[in-house]
Amino acid sequence: MTQSLRELLLRRLNQVFWLGLLMILAGWGAWRFSGLAAPVSSVLTPSRTIAPRIQQLHLRSLSSLDSSVSVLRLAVMTGEAETVLLDLNEQIRQQTQEVTLLSSSGPGIRSAKQTVNQPVLLNHCLVFRKMLLRKASVRALSQHIAEFQSQVRHLQYRVAGN
């Protein structure tokens, strides 16, 4: 009986030793892991740089949209085929959707007037398509494009913060 008690005691002592060693290693690992956590100041830094990046991307997409509208206006003035004008209009519609998404993504960029104007930009593409399919005059198409381009430039001006 003393032999079995001794074995039992040694087994328990062995278990306590390994359990203690595992607990020490777990504590050391937790301490090391907590040292890897980013400090609060570095967590806040990226959000400060994200807004200007979104604004720059927004300005670039607005510039690209403005250029595409200029190309469409030139195509209307030179009498390009209806299919070419429809393709250009579709490209502008996609760029307008991109501008709309960027307008709603940044807290520093968003304003009440901008969110109201965004559907108007998309509606211009739809109205232009309908006008083109109804065979509207070059003058009417050009005037519609000029209004659209004016709104794009105004939005660009507002996003730039001027």
The H helix count followed by the E strand count for the chain is 5, 0
User: What is the dihedral angle through the alpha carbons of 111, 112, 115, 120, rounded to the nearest 10 degrees?
Assistant: -120
pLDDT digits (tens, 9 = 90+) for 7-56: 999 999 999 999 999 999 988 888 887 777 655 555 545 555 667 788 88
In the chain, the N- to C-terminal Cα span, in Å, equals 93
DSSP assignment of 89-136: HHHHHHHHHHHHHHHHH-TTT--HHHHHHHHHHHHHHHHHHHHHHTT-
Task: Please give the model's pTM, rounded to 2 decimal places.
Answer: 0.61
Q: How confident is the model at residue 39, as a pLDDT?
A: 57
